[in-house]
Amino acid sequence: TNKLLGETTPVAACGLRGNQLQVRQIRISQIDRKDKRFQFRLTADHNELLDSIRRNGQVVPITLWDRQPYVVIDGFRRLEALRALGRETVSAVVREDLDENGAFIASFVENVQRRNLSAVDRAHAIRLMLRKRRLSVESIARELQISLRQVQRYLQLLELEPALINAVDTGR
């Protein structure tokens, strides 16, 4: 069954080096909005993004994992903003080439590249990789292309008192 609702446009995006992907128009109803396994951000203000999409439309496609229903890899806030604006479709790149661990890594890398994740969000993502993905600290460092020491620093951040973690997260 063809799930495309409109034209496709080639893009080099979503963590692929040199590969071409297609941006598709996907019905929001075909996306599992409750599946948050790739969401790392703990807090998010949607108002600024909502205003931006209202003014400019969706500029950056979301990234979906090719499952039925689709699973969001990257773009949770964009998806919710579009839904809040009453849109029925979303521009998306559908990743058919990833397993679950690959999707998890792609999500983390895309957010870090855009600098969307705070240090606390990064720390939580790394802890998720340790606990739920059962990856070693060494393999996390290798996959995320950061030093072993940096992975350890992120994990140590989560050992601080909650008030200190909040201060780091809010920049106070």
Place of tokens 């020491």: 149
Q: Mean pLDDT over residues 99-126, rounded?
A: 80
CA distance 64 to 71: 5
Rounded distance between C-alpha atoms, residue 52 and residue 61, angstroms: 14
Q: With a cut of 80, say whether residue 160 has pLDDT above it.
A: yes
Band (61; pLDDT cuts 50, 70, 90): very high
Q: Which residue has the higher pLDDT, 131 or 62?
A: 62
Is the pLDDT at 80 greater than 60? The verdict is yes
pLDDT at 56 over 60: yes
Q: Give CA torsion, residues 68, 73, 76, 82, to 10 deg.
A: -60
- Say how many residues make up the chain: 172
Q: What's the whole-number average pLDDT of the chain?
A: 81
Residue 14 pLDDT exceeds 60: no
116 Cβ neighbours under 8 A, 6+ residues apart = 41
* pLDDT exceeds 50 at position 10: no
